[in-house]
Amino acid sequence: MFQMVRRVAICLTLAATVAALQSCGVYSFTGASIPPEAKTVSISLFPNKAELVQPSLSQTFTDALRDRFSSQTNLALIPRGGDLHFEGEITGYSTEPVAITGQQTAALIRLKVTVNVRYTNKFNAKDSFETNFTRFEDYSSSLNLNAVEADLISKITEALVEDIFNKAVVNW
């Protein structure tokens, strides 16, 4: 009987500790470290200002960043003026040959996307930043970009959002 009471007490203590850590905003199981006083996040549309414009990239990227904060934090997403605020623009969208073969042709083509991000943290100004993030994916030169572009953009966007989320709120 004593051992069962002890186990229940340990479980309750553990549950209370986890709840306290999550609710105070100091720690979340996603690794996010957000100031406890922060309640909102705003993410402006990232316009595509690259020389080569992919029409859906702006909305795809912005939605992915918003989705990450909605699903991985307890912050309320608001249109503007959030405690944490993101804005910026897509500054690069390009393809370039990589992995040149013996016949002087490219075996692979690289799709590269660069995003300039301005992040403002109202509570910890030292955590605010402006940084360029770049990610790329390679694809076979035997494929047409139109055939693989949607999949490549999805992978690149996911990696960019991960980088931005980590720099802004994961302080490991």
Q: Where are the domains of the chain?
A: 1-30, 38-169
Q: In angstroms, how far is the first alpha carbon of the chain from the final one?
A: 42
Residues of the chain below pLDDT 50: 2, 5, 8-9, 11-30
pTM (2 decimals)?
A: 0.80
Query: What tokens were used for 136?
Result: 């790329």
- Bridge partners of 116, per DSSP, are 89, 132
pLDDT at 105: 73
For residue 160, the surrounding DSSP H or E stretch is helix 145-169
Measured CA distances, 105 to 58, 95, 96, 147 (Å): 32, 15, 12, 20
C-alpha dist (Å) from residue 149 to 24, 53, 56, 140, 157: 42, 13, 11, 12, 12
CATH topology of domain 38-169: Double Stranded RNA Binding Domain (3.30.160)
